[in-house]
Amino acid sequence: MNKDLKASAPTDSEIVLGILNNSEIVLKRLYITYFPMILQLIINNNGDEDDAKDIYQEAIIVLYNKIKSGEFELSSKLKTYIYSVCRRLWLKRLSHMNRYGGDIRDFEEHLPVEEDEVEKHNDRDIQFDKMENALQLLGEPCKTIMEDFYINNRSMQEICERFGYTNADNAKTQKYKCLQRLKKIFFQQK
Amino acid sequence: MSDNQLTELIEQYLNDDMSHDERIEFELLRKKDAAVDSRVTEHKQFIGLLKQYGERLELQKRLDAIHNEIDVHALKEEVTIHPVWVVRMWRHHHSKISVAASIAIFAILSTLFFTGKLNNHDSRFVELRDEVSKLKISNDQLKRTVNTSLISGAKTTKPKPANPGNFRGTGFALSSNGYIVTNYHVVSGADSVYVQNAAGESFHSKVIYTEPQNDIAILEINDPAFRNLGSVPYNFKRSSTDLGENVFTFGYPGGEVVFGPGALTSATGYQGDTTEYQVSIPVNPGNSGGPLLDDKGNVIGIINGKQTQVAGAAFAKKTTYLLKAIQNIPSDSLSKSLTLNTKNTLAGLSRQQQLKKLKNYVFMVKVYN
């Protein structure tokens, strides 16, 4: 691990600003700064490094989305916030796996995290899982057309060229067909 | 309007890709037709979700890229709390350790049990009551049934138990009216107690007082066949006796009364017990509760045990404790007065004469349970 990165822990406001400005460097510094703390928490509470990665990334995503949506207020230290969210998430997962012995070994102070914050994040995850499934079931070339057009914001012209459609109208018709099927698959899922 | 065209319109509308007039027209349509309106909302939400999903994938990819730069393995070593070796050993081998420990405990307990160490009983000290073998009892019972069948109808036999009892000890009279002292361990757990005199007559007796801590029990003969013993020839010495004093005992280690001569060898008993004397006297099971007398015929103690593996170490409870026990008897337990004899009529007599007199005052205590 890069020693300089470890040495210079970014300040909390730096991080918030950096994320709002889509700064890759700030995200990286944030990630690297607090990962050891969470690794320690998970490993010493019946988890392994993969669990730590999952939980930590989930927490970073929660934080990221909260900052992006403008709801985030720096009421506590960021470190404490991340730790608390991870702790909450890990407790939940432990009880899911029936590995929770009713006792967790803590390394940092933590706050009670609002239940609905984690809950909201979970709901969104379920939606995303459904979307991923639906896209898989959709198959090619529809999947790529959908991703290119709606996610990567490519123009119809580019898509036309990529898939060798003779005119943009054909491509457009194809796109709407694909969208319709995607919606159908998505909403049929339970 | 086809479905595709509608979708295209919705997209144009949402992307703000319409001319002013088209827009007003579409908004009118939306207001008029609820189906169109719901299509717009639905489309907006769905595309929003799709876009968010894309963003999430993107963010995840970025985080994974960052994660891959971290040397997780080294970090893991760093943050793992290494428990001390005892704890680690326990975690890895606790089942084996538990099994081993249980086996060890079991082995120790069974060894202790089989070697008799677990009994509270000290094997180096034996109490001298005599356990009459079961075989003998059954023999006796057999003999009795034979006897009764032989003489059945001829004449009524005396309804006294010929059965020698489960345990036997010795006792001696405290007063002429039938109070007898013996050891507590002789009569403990007794259902009924008989005393048998030298002539072979048995009398039913009742345990009226016990002092387990001093191993003393006081019996009272309550048999209608009992007659007054006549005044007791010995008295009870209150002061302690000096070492080297010639002493003797008289008791029932077997079926017959046995004289045991000896000497007082120590002022303390087993393991320094100051309530007892140590005497060098041949005693055997059955001697328990017998009197220990000095040369002049004063009672100085009650024989109660001997040490095994040591030659000539028998023990006798000092008379002082007997006298204390007598004082402690609650008065309502005494149906007759218990007056100790203070006149010693044995002094000056030869040993043979003394024993002849004593014989009538020493009893075999038979215990049934």
Own/partner contacts of A76-81, CB < 8 Å, gap of 24 or more, are A76/A111, A77/A12, A78/A12, A78/A15, A78/A30, A78/A34, A79/A34, A79/A37, A79/A108, A80/A108, A80/A109, A80/A110, A80/A111, A81/A111, A81/A113
Highest CATH level, class, for A121-188: mainly alpha
Question: For residue A5, what is the nearest residue in chain B, using CA coordinates?
Answer: B70
**What tens digit of pLDDT does each residue of A74-106 get?**
777 888 888 888 888 888 888 877 766 666 777
Residue B102's pLDDT is: 95
Look at residue B333 and tell me if it is in a domain. Answer: yes
Instruction: Identify the three-state secondary structure at position A102.
Output: coil
B1 part of contact set with chain A, CB < 8 Å: no
* Mean confidence (pLDDT) of chain B: 81
Look at residue B112 and tell me if it is in a domain. Answer: no
Residue A100's pLDDT is: 62
**What tens digit of pLDDT does each residue of B215-274 get?**
899 999 988 888 888 888 888 888 888 888 889 998 888 778 888 889 988 888 888 888
> Within this chain, do residues B51 and B159 fall inside the same structural domain, yes or no?
no
Strands B298-307 and B235-236: parallel
d(CA B181, CA B319): 11
Residue B151's pLDDT is: 47
Q: Say if pTM beats, i.e. exceeds, 0.90.
A: no
* Enclosing domain of residue B49: 3-69
Nearest to A39 among B3, B69, B75 (CB): B75
> Within this chain, do residues B44 and B185 fall inside the same structural domain, yes or no?
no
Residue B127 DSSP symbol: E
Choosing from B50, B69, B88, the residue where a domain stops is B69
Domain limits, CATH 1.10.10, in chain A: 121-188
Neighbour tally for B195: CB within 10 Å: 26
Choosing from B53, B69, B85, the residue where a domain stops is B69
pLDDT of residue B100 exceeding 90, the answer is yes
Domain count for chain B? 2
Look at residue B315 and tell me if it is in a domain. Answer: yes
Question: For residue B71, what is the nearest residue in chain A, using CA coordinates?
Answer: A1
Residue B364, phi then psi, degrees to nearest 5 = -85, 125
Look at residue B209 and tell me if it is in a domain. Answer: yes
Q: Spell out which residues of chain B touch residue A60, defining contact as CB-CB under 8 Å.
A: 63
Neighbour tally for B233: CB within 10 Å: 20
What is the DSSP secondary-structure string of B48-96?
HHHHHHHHHHHHHHHHHHHHHHS-HHHHHHHHS----HHHHHHHHHHHH
Look at residue B156 and tell me if it is in a domain. Answer: yes
> Within this chain, do residues B25 and B158 fall inside the same structural domain, yes or no?
no
Look at residue B118 and tell me if it is in a domain. Answer: no
> Within this chain, do residues B363 and B256 fall inside the same structural domain, yes or no?
yes
Neighbour tally for B20: CB within 10 Å: 7
> Within this chain, do residues B240 and B156 fall inside the same structural domain, yes or no?
yes
Q: Read off the CATH number of the domain in which B213 is found.
A: 2.40.10.120
Look at residue B111 and tell me if it is in a domain. Answer: no
Q: Spell out which residues of chain A touch residue B17, defining contact as CB-CB under 8 Å.
A: none
Q: Spell out which residues of chain A touch residue B4, defining contact as CB-CB under 8 Å.
A: 172-173, 176-177
Can you read off the two tokens belonging to residue B17? Answer: 């890709």
d(CA B69, CA A3): 12
Choosing from B20, B38, B69, the residue where a domain stops is B69
> Within this chain, do residues B151 and B263 fall inside the same structural domain, yes or no?
yes
Question: Looking at domain A3-113, which CATH architecture does it have?
Answer: Orthogonal Bundle (1.10)
Domain limits, CATH 1.10.1740.10, in chain A: 3-113
Provide the shortest C-alpha distance from residue A122 to chain B (in Å).
13
pLDDT of residue B276 exceeding 80, the answer is yes
A20 part of contact set with chain B, CB < 8 Å: no
Can you read off the two tokens belonging to residue A90? Answer: 């890990």
Residue A114's pLDDT is: 64
**What tens digit of pLDDT does each residue of A26-39 get?**
888 888 888 888 88
Nearest to B50 among A28, A124, A151 (CB): A151
d(CA B127, CA B113): 21
Question: A90-104, B29-43, B138-152: lowest mean pLDDT where?
Answer: B138-152
B75 contacts A128? CB cut-off 8 A: no
| pLDDT band for position B101 (cuts 50, 70, 90) | very high
Phi-psi region of B368 (alpha: psi -120 to 50; beta: other; left: phi over 0): beta
> Within this chain, do residues B240 and B354 fall inside the same structural domain, yes or no?
yes
> Within this chain, do residues B57 and B170 fall inside the same structural domain, yes or no?
no
Look at residue B44 and tell me if it is in a domain. Answer: yes
